[in-house]
């Protein structure tokens, strides 16, 4: 009977009647889903409601397969193609545009446009939509931070960094439970207010499974500090199925080469400073030698003091800053010292080796980002629900 009513329901839905859109979703067949797709390309309430209903129906493998054979009415519509890209089979897969259009409409929805009876949508859409929605939010409300600190052990609230480390661990543990306990629920409330989440953002987060939602709070919102924009990058969603690859050898090469070069340059800088003071080297002003030697003497005295006495955090920060300035000055002096004494082939060799080390750093950083990022954490957290046959991995 539902299939027989498709013609009437499709016509009424095209006229903007939301009840007709809802009834098409109730029919729930692949043909009904195709009729809902035809509503996506116009702007308006019917398009948004159709997007929400399709986000529910696409969990059905038969519906998904039918949509892969659909022919979108338009191709120049606003869409977020990256949201469905990890699940496409080919570049001309219609679902790339359909899924991207659904994601765009979901993300831009007003809270009143979200169907009140919607409690679950496909996690392949829920995860990117939710994370994209909280991009740019920051946990900076002092009152909320105070509330959070009051809810955690005293040893874990010495500073904001320790608070964030504690929260990350709490949510990682809570993600293994079926639902949040009272303490975690209170932390969720404080974090949501501290990040200034709107009712729409809270609704989108509520559509995630609890393990995935815990990952968002533990990996993104509680760690945001000034902003979450650096934590949430859309490009990470495109790599969620890339295999994890080790980076230890790359980091070892980077730290070894750059560390050795810096150490040799620093000692050369110290030697060059003594030559400046004795007039044995005149490439740089004499005062540079005085600054370097006096700075090294000061750092050595501070190190000796630290060895015998404890220091407070402010003094330690000042010492670290002084050490960084001294080391930088010595390295610059050392580079100038070697530049004058090495032949051009030698300089080219040193520059080439260090360029490879820098390239190794970029590659290691990129692999680390692929191996561990908020999108991947949410994806794996959702897939950990072994009782959910529509998990992302099953899809």
Residue 358's φ and ψ, nearest 5 degrees, are -65, -40
Do 43 and 32 contact (CB within 8 A), yes or no? no
CA 101 to chain centre: 22
pLDDT band at 386 (very low <50, low <70, confident <90, very high): very low
CA distance 282 to 313: 40
365, burial (CB in 10 Å: exposed 0-12, middle 13-18, buried 19+): middle
pLDDT at 222: 82
Tens-place pLDDT, residues 111-152: 889 999 998 999 999 999 999 998 878 777 777 778 888 888
pLDDT at 388: 46
More reliable by pLDDT, 382 or 326:
382
* pLDDT given at position 223: 80
Name the residue with tokens 């359909």.
98
- The CA angle 224-228-231, to the nearest 5 degrees, is 100
For residue 393, pLDDT over 50 is answered with no
* pLDDT of 74 above 80: no
**Higher local confidence (pLDDT), 52 or 13:** 52
Which pLDDT score is estimated for 1?
47
Q: Is 196 left (phi over 0), alpha (psi -120 to 50) or beta?
A: left
pLDDT above 60: residue 51:
yes
Which pLDDT belongs to residue 322?
72
Residue count of the chain, please give it.
395
Residues in CB range of 51: below 8 A, 6 or more apart: 40, 101, 102, 105, 106, 109
Q: 248-277 vs 286-308: helix axis angle to the nearest 10? A: 120
Spell out the long-range contacts of 5-10 with Cβ–Cβ below 8 A and sequence spacing 24 or more.
Answer: 6/31, 6/32, 6/35, 9/35, 10/35, 10/38
Interatomic CA distance for residues 272 and 335, integer angstroms: 10
Tell me the mean pLDDT in the region 321-327: 77
Q: Is 319 exposed, middle or buried (0-12, 13-18, 19+ CB in 10 A)?
A: middle
Distances (CA, A) of 334 to 37, 221, 297: 66, 44, 18
Question: Is the CB of residue 54 less than 8 Å from the CB of residue 36?
Answer: yes
| 387 pLDDT higher than 60 | no
Q: How far is 119 from 213, CA to CA, in rounded Å?
A: 14
Ramachandran assignment for 136, one of left (phi > 0), alpha (psi -120 to 50 degrees), beta (any other): left
Residue 250 is predicted with a pLDDT of 94
- Report residue 168 as tokens: 């990350």
Check residue 238 and report its DSSP letter: T
Q: For residues 97 and 84, give the distance between their C-alpha atoms in angstroms, rounded to a whole number.
A: 8
Output the CA–CA distances (angstroms, integers) from residue 228 to 28, 225, 232, in the order listed.
37, 8, 6
Q: What is the mean pLDDT of residues 222-243?
A: 80
Selection from 219, 151, 154 nearest residue 189 by Cα: 151
The DSSP output letter for 112 is G
139 touches 191 (CB < 8 A): yes
- pLDDT band at residue 226 using 50, 70 and 90 as cut-offs: low
Q: What number is the average pLDDT over the span 348-361?
A: 93
pLDDT at 331 over 80: yes
Tokens, residue 127:
């995860």
Q: Provide the pLDDT for residue 310.
A: 55
C-alpha to C-alpha distance for 222 and 138, rounded to whole angstroms:
9
- pLDDT of 76 higher than 70: yes
Q: What percentage of the chain carries pLDDT values higher than 70?
A: 89
Mean pLDDT of the chain: 84
Write down the pLDDT at residue 385.
Answer: 59
For 73, half-sphere exposure in the C-beta direction (CA atoms, 13 angstrom radius) is 9
CB atoms within 10 A of CB 5: 15
Spatial separation of the C-alpha atoms in residues 185 and 179, rounded to whole Å: 9
- The answer on pLDDT for 304 being more than 60 is yes
Three-state DSSP class for 263? helix
More confident residue, 390 or 78: 78
Give the pLDDT of residue 288.
83
CB atoms within 10 A of CB 242: 12
Q: Which residue is it, tokens 């059905």?
A: 60
Which pLDDT score is estimated for 2?
Answer: 53
| Mean pLDDT for the stretch of residues 246-264 | 92
Q: Is 10 helix (H, G, I), strand (E, B) or coil?
A: helix
pLDDT single digits (tens) 29-39: 999 999 999 99
Token pair 């709490």 is found at: 170
Least reliable range by pLDDT among 111-115, 175-179, 226-230, 365-369 = 226-230
Indicate whether 192 pLDDT > 80: yes
Q: Is residue 311 predicted with pLDDT exceeding 70?
A: no
Q: Which of 187, 195, 193 is nearest to 220 (CA)?
A: 195
Over residues 272-293, the pLDDT tens digits come to 888 888 877 777 888 888 888 8
Residue 262, both tokens: 């810096």
């Amino acid at each position: 009977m539902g299939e027989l009513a498709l013609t009437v329901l499709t016509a009424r839905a095209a006229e903007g009647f939301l009840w007709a859109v809802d009834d098409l979703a109730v029919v729930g067949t692949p043909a009904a889903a195709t009729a809902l797709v035809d509503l996506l390309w116009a702007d308006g309430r019917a398009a948004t409601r159709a997007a929400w209903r399709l986000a529910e129906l696409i969990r059905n493998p038969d519906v998904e397969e039918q949509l892969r054979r659909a022919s979108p009415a338009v191709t120049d519509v606003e869409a977020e193609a990256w949201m469905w890209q990890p699940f496409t089979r080919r570049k001309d897969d219609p679902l790339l545009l359909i899924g991207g259009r659904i994601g765009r409409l979901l993300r831009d929805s007003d809270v009143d446009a979200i169907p009140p009876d919607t409690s679950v949508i496909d996690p392949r859409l829920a995860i990117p939509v939710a994370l994209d929605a909280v991009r740019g939010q920051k946990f900076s409300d002092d009152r909320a931070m105070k509330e959070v600190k009051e809810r955690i052990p005293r040893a874990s609230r010495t500073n904001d960094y320790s608070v964030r480390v504690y929260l990350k661990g709490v949510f990682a543990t809570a993600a293994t439970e079926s639902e949040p306990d009272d303490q975690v629920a209170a932390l969720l409330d404080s974090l949501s207010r501290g990040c200034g989440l709107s009712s729409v953002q809270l609704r989108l987060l509520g559509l995630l499974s609890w393990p995935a939602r815990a990952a968002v709070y533990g990996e993104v919102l509680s760690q945001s500090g000034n902003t979450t924009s650096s934590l949430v990058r859309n490009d990470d969603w495109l790599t969620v199925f890339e295999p994890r690859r080790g980076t230890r050898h790359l980091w070892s090469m980077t730290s070894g080469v750059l560390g050795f070069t810096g150490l040799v340059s620093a000692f050369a800088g110290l030697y060059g400073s003594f030559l400046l003071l004795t007039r044995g080297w005149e490439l740089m002003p004499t005062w540079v030698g005085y600054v370097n030697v006096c700075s090294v003497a000061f750092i050595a005295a501070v190190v000796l003091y630290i060895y015998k006495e404890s220091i407070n955090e402010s003094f330690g920060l000042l010492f670290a800053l002084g050490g960084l300035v001294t080391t930088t000055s010595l390295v610059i002096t050392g580079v100038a010292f070697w530049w004058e004494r090495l032949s051009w082939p030698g300089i080219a060799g040193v520059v080439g080796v260090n360029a490879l080390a820098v390239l190794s750093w970029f590659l290691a950083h990129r692999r680390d980002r692929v191996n561990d990022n908020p999108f991947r954490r949410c994806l794996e957290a959702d897939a950990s629900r072994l009782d959910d046959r529509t998990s992302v991995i099953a899809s």
